[in-house]
Amino acid sequence: MRLAIFLNSVNYFRGICILFIVAGHCVSPSGWHIDSFFEKVFINLVYGGSALFVFISGFLFHHVFYNNFDYLTFVTKKVKNVLIPYLILSSAPIIYFVIYKGTASVRYSDYVFLQKEGVYYEYARPIIMYLWSGCTLTAYWYIPFIMIVFLLSPFFIAYIHLKPATRLFVLCIMIVIASLIHRPVDNLYPLQSVVYFAPLYAYGILASIHKDAIYDYLKGKEIYLLILIVLCASLQVILYDHFGNFHKSPFAISYPDIIIFQKMIMCLFFMVFLHKFEDKNFAVLKPLASASFAIYFLHPFVISAVYLVISNLKESQQETAGIL
């Protein structure tokens, strides 16, 4: 039995990743009107942090679990640490939405409710749909999707066993497919999310397999990776006049997703850059990384609460101004 070496750099990467995700989820509630070219490029750099999380999960799947992999133990651990917290924290919003079905305050009412009567259509199906899609709260779509990825672990074990050239070929095919189908509309369809993000998970596995070669080859070349990242973010605005993530129905014809390539380069950048600090102890990033999943689960509540307080304050100010 061989224990995996703890990598501070990957842990720090996880801490940075959660900052990207929270920052991305704060943009829309902030009311920020994104107009200029540089604002759009900045948003392209910030958005899509979930891709970084998926890459890290794939990296750790190989680095930590592969050598002593036991499917039942692995899935049981993920159920305990990921699925159960998701079910618990989703329960209150789901109960609220089901009780107040069809009102303006209910998230994705048209998607969840079919306007039919009966216990199944009014209660059972909405609960299933909320849990299946994760549309109860911002960011919760990630949990159903990543649990499916965990259940598909035998596929990724088989991927690891492929010859190096075949692994690369399969990854390229997966990336092309992902770039063409895009992320699902409103992140509502977890199976489409699996197809889109699976290559990033496999990419993380590949990065773990070849981490020493990657560290050696890209050492001192981080600036070139950074330039490529900014270039991809800029091209997305120049070519498509589009900022943020790409979302569409899987078979709708559209231009290729660029942000997935930008995030792939960004993953390499952070992987190589943070490797310089393998022996350093960053007091801020360490606890941030340790609390990353807790932050992921709880930040939608905090953002919603802050947004509600700010909205109420604005309404009060407008009413006061109207009276005066």
| pLDDT, position 100 | 85
Compute and round to an integer the Cα radius of gyration of the chain. 21
Count: domains in the chain: 1
Q: What are the structure tokens assigned to 124, written together?
A: 């059972």
pLDDT tens for each residue of 116-171: 889 999 999 999 999 999 999 989 999 999 999 999 999 999 999 999 999 999 99
| pLDDT, position 197 | 98
Asked if residue 3 is part of any domain, the answer here is no
The terminus-to-terminus CA distance of the chain in angstroms comes to: 75
Who's near 279: CB < 8 A, 6+ residues apart? Answer: 8
162 torsion bin: left (phi>0), alpha (psi -120 to 50), beta (else): beta
Asked if residue 241 is part of any domain, the answer here is yes
Asked if residue 134 is part of any domain, the answer here is yes
Beta bridge mates, 247: 183
Asked if residue 237 is part of any domain, the answer here is yes
Amino acid identity of 176? Answer: V
Q: Phi and psi of 192, rounded to 5°? A: -70, -35
| pLDDT, position 321 | 56
Q: Which residues of the chain have pLDDT under 70?
A: 1-4, 102, 104-105, 315-324
143 touches 132 (CB < 8 A): no
181 touches 194 (CB < 8 A): no
- By residue range, what is the domain housing residue 53? 8-318
Nearest of 207, 199, 188, 209 to residue 155 by alpha carbon: 199
- Could you tell me the pTM of the whole model? 0.93
Q: Phi and psi of 247, rounded to 5°? A: -130, 135
| pLDDT, position 297 | 92
Asked if residue 245 is part of any domain, the answer here is yes
